[in-house]
Amino acid sequence: MSTTEDAVPPRHAGLTHVREDGSAHMVDVGDKDVTARRAAAESTLHTRPDVVAQILTGGLPKGDALAVARVAGIMGAKRTPELVPLCHPLPISGVTVDFAPAGPEQEPDAVRISAEVRTTGRTGVEMEALTAASVAALTLYDMIKALDRAAEITATRVVTKSGGASGDWSRG
């Protein structure tokens, strides 16, 4: 018969950024294969339908929010290791940030921000994709907050990833 101690794994079991003593550390990826890796993430900005229309047509008082948010998302992906302490600096080969209305039938009051990051390296780019989508969404929020203080950012999540030993994954 096992004891309760044997039956319950330590709180950090299976987490690569946590040592046995529970302290955080940066994972050594030196022995991992260099492979092409890609990750896509998304975030959603909810605001009023009239504000969505102004975002999509470039008619905001602060100017072309999509152009500014796209550049901000790209910059965010490139600076992820400065923002997330245990992320490795990666040789990012490409970042794409796009915007689309969430759909008049489902959410006429939302803009979907999608980001894709690519690299050839020893570790994945999920955090870079999440950072790109988040920073782009934050930039849109900054550009509309005077028009809609109730605007909110939701559903920031990884959508797909590929490459590396763990293989491909998709939210489905």
Residue 93 in domain: yes
Q: Which residues of the chain have pLDDT under 50?
A: 1-9
Residue 17 in domain: no
Q: Which residue has the tokens 């509309």?
A: 144
Active site residue 50: no
Beta strands in 9-109 (DSSP E): 35-46, 92-101
Q: What is the pLDDT of residues 156-165, one digit of tens each?
A: 999 999 998 8
Q: Which residue has the tokens 């079991």?
A: 13
What's residue 58's pLDDT? 93
Residue 24 in domain: no
Residue 76: give its domain's CATH number. 3.30.70.640
Residue 170 in domain: no
Residue 9 in domain: no
Domain that holds residue 96: 33-164
Question: How far is Cα 74 from Cα 72, in angstroms, rounded to an integer?
Answer: 5
- Which amino acid is it at 115? A
Whether the Cβ atoms of residue 139 and residue 25 lie closer than 8 Å to each other: no
- The structure tokens listed for 31 are 């022995």
Whether the Cβ atoms of residue 63 and residue 133 lie closer than 8 Å to each other: no
What's residue 11's pLDDT? 54
**Of 64, 142, 148, 168, which residue is the catalytic one?**
142
Residue 4 in domain: no
Residue 72 in domain: yes
* Number of domains into which the chain is organized: 1
Whether the Cβ atoms of residue 152 and residue 44 lie closer than 8 Å to each other: no
- The structure tokens listed for 151 are 């605007």
